[in-house]
């Protein structure tokens, strides 16, 4: 099988050793991968900061967007429609590491939309944040904009 | 790895898409979230992101005909095929009802009001951000002019370089049938909390319709204005750029230059500067949109509306293209250009008290304003 230049393939290897064979033209949607290929000319690119599950989704996104069609909002909603916020956060970290601006922004707005109406407790749970306020301190902050908690 | 640790610079990228109400609530999440959200750096970033936030709601203001009159602010979901009230947003006007205000303009959800149309003499200018319940009464300029004999024009907008909201005041000394030129120009900035003069020259034209809202678009405040040369009146649009604080003139399309400036008004349609030309019978109006800002050839006549009922003021356009305007009976209607049908939205308002703008939520006045009572 002859390989025409446009159909050059690269292999992306996730942190958990899963390998994905992808067209180079699609892989370079990621500025990070683009730089690695340009600087090192690798065909097998290790991505220790992204797990297989997340990488699969990112590749799916890049594939759909490489066709240049504008009909992607529906796909994006499906692709990013996940019950678990942690999956979205993983995608955010991956999009940041792989430097894919459009995906990064879409995931940001999606996460923002999901947490917009959450309570303080729910947000702490989502982002695994410990409450370091004393009850008095928290009440004081809360009272400064009490209406925002209604 | 999953979800446990989100570096602050990534967290900021998520937070800047949230509305102020959510962010003010999330100050309670932890100490680091609190100091992040309260920092002026974050507020600046959030403000700079506002032009990218999708705005799908409209804010409508009107006064009731009750005594004392009440100011009513309602928010509507501006969808393709529906225009329903957003009952989750409750806005209570925080200023005394004994003062009759008119709206000077609004920008990033910050509303500028003045009672100049009604009290004539000493007047008040107030700024109010309903989305974070902050208000500010603007001190009057130091220069005390003999108010009898002066006409004051106000403009309101945002300086994107300084990230600062500004009010510009032009004081025209009255003369027989018109006013003398040039006017005295002063600018107030929210961050400095003070008035000062500008270094650029004052405009050499007059402004009609002091009490109609001006519009803020493309970084500048705009008014319908006119110049008089040897008795020949020429209508134009005057602009004041909030960043460089310079006045400029924008030419109207040829057929409007000779029209009376008292029968024209400025409005913003889908982010473009537009002019409404009212027929003297008030049964007809036409709207011209400047498709490319400052390109005179790009003026395009976009709407022509006539009505036997009698028209009031053209206020704005919905996202689906339907026009929002008042009728002679002071009802706010939604007018469909295709079907030529109209639907009542709000009835029983005080004459000329209706105001429409995109509903925006920002942190304007978070530091400089005081809490509203409610």
Whether A75 shows a pLDDT value over 60: the answer reads yes
| Of the listed ranges A112-121, B111-120, B229-238, B267-276, the one predicted with least confidence | B111-120
The pLDDT of residue B231: 81
Nearest to A147 among B13, B19, B133 (CB): B133
* Structure tokens given for B277: 């030309």
B231 at interface of A, judged by CB pairs closer than 8 A? no
A91 at interface of B, judged by CB pairs closer than 8 A? no
The pLDDT of residue A134: 95
The pLDDT of residue B67: 81
Report, as an integer, the average pLDDT of B11-23: 96
pLDDT-derived band at B174, boundaries 50, 70, 90: confident
Please give the Cα distance from B369 to B212 (Å, whole number). 25
**How big is the A-B interface in CB pairs under 8 Å?**
85
Closest CA to B16 of B49, B51, B56, B40: B49
Q: Which residues of A touch B25 (CB under 8 A)?
A: 119-120, 145, 148-149
Nearest to B2 among A90, A130, A132 (CB): A90
Report, as an integer, the average pLDDT of B286-301: 96
The pLDDT of residue B144: 58
Please give the Cα distance from B369 to A90 (Å, whole number). 39
Report, as an integer, the average pLDDT of B267-291: 94
* Structure tokens given for B168: 């510009």
Residue range B36-73, pLDDT digits in tens: 999 999 999 999 999 999 889 999 999 998 888 889 99
More confident residue, B230 or B203: B203
Residue range B353-368, pLDDT digits in tens: 999 999 999 999 999 9
pLDDT-derived band at B3, boundaries 50, 70, 90: very low
* Structure tokens given for A52: 């297989």
The pLDDT of residue B4: 55
A108 at interface of B, judged by CB pairs closer than 8 A? yes
| Of the listed ranges A5-9, B132-136, B339-343, the one predicted with least confidence | A5-9
pLDDT-derived band at B1, boundaries 50, 70, 90: very low
Please give the Cα distance from B170 to B101 (Å, whole number). 19
Please give the Cα distance from A150 to A119 (Å, whole number). 10
A142 at interface of B, judged by CB pairs closer than 8 A? yes
Nearest to A132 among B3, B24, B30 (CB): B30
Cβ distance B25 to A51 less than 8 Å, yes or no, reads no
B220 at interface of A, judged by CB pairs closer than 8 A? no
Cβ distance B25 to A129 less than 8 Å, yes or no, reads no
pTM, 2 dp: 0.90
Please give the Cα distance from B100 to B106 (Å, whole number). 17
Whether A7 shows a pLDDT value over 80: the answer reads no
Nearest to B4 among A51, A128, A148 (CB): A128
Backbone angle region of B145, left / alpha / beta, with phi > 0 → left and psi within -120 to 50 → alpha: beta
Whether A6 shows a pLDDT value over 90: the answer reads no
| Of the listed ranges B32-41, B158-167, B343-352, the one predicted with least confidence | B343-352
Backbone angle region of B310, left / alpha / beta, with phi > 0 → left and psi within -120 to 50 → alpha: left
Please give the Cα distance from B358 to B109 (Å, whole number). 8
Please give the Cα distance from A125 to B211 (Å, whole number). 52
3-state secondary structure of A100: coil
More confident residue, B130 or A70: B130
A83 at interface of B, judged by CB pairs closer than 8 A? no
Closest CA to B195 of B161, B216, B169, B214: B169
């Amino acid at each position: 099988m002859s390989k025409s230049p446009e159909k050059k393939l690269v292999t992306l290897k996730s942190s958990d050793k899963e390998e994905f064979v992808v067209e180079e033209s699609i892989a370079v949607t990621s500025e990070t991968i683009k730089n690695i290929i340009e600087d090192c000319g690798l065909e097998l690119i290790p991505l220790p900061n992204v797990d297989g599950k997340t990488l699969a989704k990112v590749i799916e996104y890049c594939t759909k967007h490489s066709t240049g069609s504008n009909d992607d909002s529906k796909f994006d909603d499906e692709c990013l429609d996940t019950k678990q916020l942690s999956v979205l956060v993983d995608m955010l970290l991956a999009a940041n590491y792989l430097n894919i601006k459009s995906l990064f922004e879409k995931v940001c707005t999606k996460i923002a939309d999901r947490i917009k109406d959450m309570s303080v407790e729910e947000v702490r749970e989502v982002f695994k944040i410990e409450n370091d306020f004393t009850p008095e301190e928290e009440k004081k902050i809360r009272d400064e904009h009490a209406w925002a908690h209604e | 790895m999953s979800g446990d640790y989100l570096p602050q610079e990534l967290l900021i990228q998520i937070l800047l898409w949230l509305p102020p109400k959510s962010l003010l609530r999330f100050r309670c999440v932890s100490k680091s979230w609190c100091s992040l959200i309260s920092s002026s750096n974050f507020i600046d970033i959030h403000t700079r992101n506002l032009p990218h936030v999708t705005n799908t709601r409209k804010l409508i203001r009107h006064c009731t005909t009750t005594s004392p009159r009440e100011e009513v602010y309602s928010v509507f979901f501006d969808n393709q095929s529906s225009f329903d009230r957003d009952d989750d947003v409750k806005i209570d006007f925080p200023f005394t009802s004994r003062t009759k205000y008119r709206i000077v303009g609004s920008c990033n959800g910050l509303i500028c009001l003045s009672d100049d149309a009604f009290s004539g003499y000493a007047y008040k200018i107030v700024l109010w951000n309903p989305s974070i319940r902050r208000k500010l009464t603007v001190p009057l300029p130091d220069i005390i002019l003999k108010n009898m004999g002066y006409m004051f024009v106000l403009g309101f907008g945002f300086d994107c370089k300084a990230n600062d909201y500004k009010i510009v005041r032009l004081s025209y000394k009255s003369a027989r049938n018109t006013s003398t030129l040039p006017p005295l120009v002063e600018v107030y900035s929210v961050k400095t909390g003070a008035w000062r003069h500008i270094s650029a020259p004052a405009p050499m034209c007059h402004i009609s319709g002091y009490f109609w809202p001006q519009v803020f678009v493309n970084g500048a405040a705009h008014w319908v204005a006119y110049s008089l040369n040897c008795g020949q009146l020429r209508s134009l649009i005057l602009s004041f750029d909030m960043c460089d604080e310079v006045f400029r003139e924008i030419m109207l399309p040829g057929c409007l230059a000779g029209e009376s400036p008292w029968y024209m008004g400025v409005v913003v349609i889908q982010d473009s500067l537009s002019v409404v030309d009212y027929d003297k019978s008030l049964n007809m109006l036409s709207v011209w949109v400047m498709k490319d800002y400052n390109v005179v050839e790009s003026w395009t006549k976009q709407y022509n509306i006539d009505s036997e009922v009698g028209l009031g003021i053209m206020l704005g356009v919905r996202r689906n293209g339907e026009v929002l305007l008042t009728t002679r009976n002071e009802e706010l209607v939604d007018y469909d250009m295709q079907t030529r049908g109209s639907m009542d939205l709000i009835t029983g308002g005080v004459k000329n008290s209706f105001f429409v703008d995109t509903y925006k939520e920002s942190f304007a006045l978070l530091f400089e304003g005081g809490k509203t009572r409610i």
